[in-house]
Structure 1
């Protein structure tokens, strides 16, 4: 079943949230993330503090919104690009390579993002702030199972969950090691995951 289009009220709320995030990131770029307060963001956006807090309870929520908004914007083109690659392993590697490139360009915000993201309920509905990472991994792994490249004795949901948590664990490890490469962290993680996830015929 396809999702219903957002109603006028939802669209207005989304537009306000996007505007607030745009103002916040202009201030972050100018003054540094740690030096900007929620009060300054509200003043620059010309909204009441209550309006800002109604959309974003903490400053980290603004970062989450921006990261997830950026991910959603490129997702259709990204999925089409991945489909041109020959197998599941190469699609997974290209996906994490592109993820690494994005986060390495926004490293200042990854720590705040992770603190907020990992503090939320595991079963948080997509409409309430999920990035869509799990859906991408599920789609890639399901296609791999259909082609006999990924083992089918484990449920797709299990494999997807393992990979999402490994992905986030890589980001946590990387952000704590200045000068390290997230691309290398992801590459090592996929080596380990695929060693266990590949179907016997593919080994």
Structure 2
């Protein structure tokens, strides 16, 4: 006979299941009516929960986006790393990952501005590793492989490089959101070229 799970484990699973249910109900409404037109009260009704339950899990509507995007990224990471491992070198892997990120952002463009506003509005002390999206750790892993192969400079800490690339990513996405008709994949290509090659003009000291 198996040993029963600890109460804390059951509570954590129940909380996760409730959060996932609330997020699914919210995204069903977003898809039907548009993100801006959906209220928290409507989400609670659609999910058949009390408003207090919804607010206990997600204090603001943007937090629902935060949960969905981070869960999706975590679920995609094993297959993503397996795919990237088939590519020759750090630069190719970073570029392929950024193109996947561009595809995701294009599909969820209507949600990207409120999501980024929510993320950037959080106090610094709430953005520890456990509360980040996971992008910095993807960059860190790919850049560490590049450092090990000699493709990426090794005189700077991997995490410093990863954090720098993530901030460049955020700036690129925000610029894309303000530029109608822009290609995010092309913008990411230019960003990565800048990151890998620097801004110094050829031949200058």
TM norm structure 1: 0.90
Post-superposition shift, 1:180? 1.1
Which of 53, 56, 59 is matched with 1:57 structurally?
A: 59
Which of 122, 125, 128 is matched with 2:128 structurally?
A: 125
Which of 139, 144, 147 is matched with 2:146 structurally?
A: 144
Q: Which runs of 4+ in 1 moved over 2 A?
A: none
Change (3 A) 1:11 1:126: farther
- Name the CA distance, whole Å, in 1 between partners of 2:178 and 2:119: 16
Post-superposition shift, 1:136? 0.4
Determine which structure has more spread, i.e. the larger CA radius of gyration: 2
**Alignment root-mean-square deviation, CA:** 1.4
Q: Which whole-Å deviations, capped at 9, do the CAs of 1:157-186 have from their partners, x for residues lacking one?
A: 211110010011111111111221111111
Q: Secondary structure at 2:153's aligned position in 1?
A: coil
- Name the CA distance, whole Å, in 2 between partners of 1:70 and 1:62: 12
Q: Secondary structure at 2:122's aligned position in 1?
A: coil
- Name the CA distance, whole Å, in 1 between partners of 2:197 and 2:124: 26
User: Is residue 2:50 matched to residue 1:48?
Assistant: yes
Q: Secondary structure at 2:146's aligned position in 1?
A: helix
Q: How many residues get paired?
A: 191
Which residue number in structure 2 is paired with residue 30 of structure 1?
32
TM norm structure 2: 0.89
Gaps of 5+ in 1: 1-5, 198-203
Which residue number in structure 1 is paired with residue 169 of structure 2?
167
Q: Which whole-Å deviations, capped at 9, do the CAs of 1:86-133 have from their partners, x for residues lacking one?
A: 100000000000000011011010011110111124452343x32110
Which residue number in structure 1 is paired with residue 11 of structure 2?
9
Which of 58, 66, 69 is matched with 1:67 structurally?
A: 69
Q: Which whole-Å deviations, capped at 9, do the CAs of 1:51-70 have from their partners, x for residues lacking one?
A: 10111111011111111111
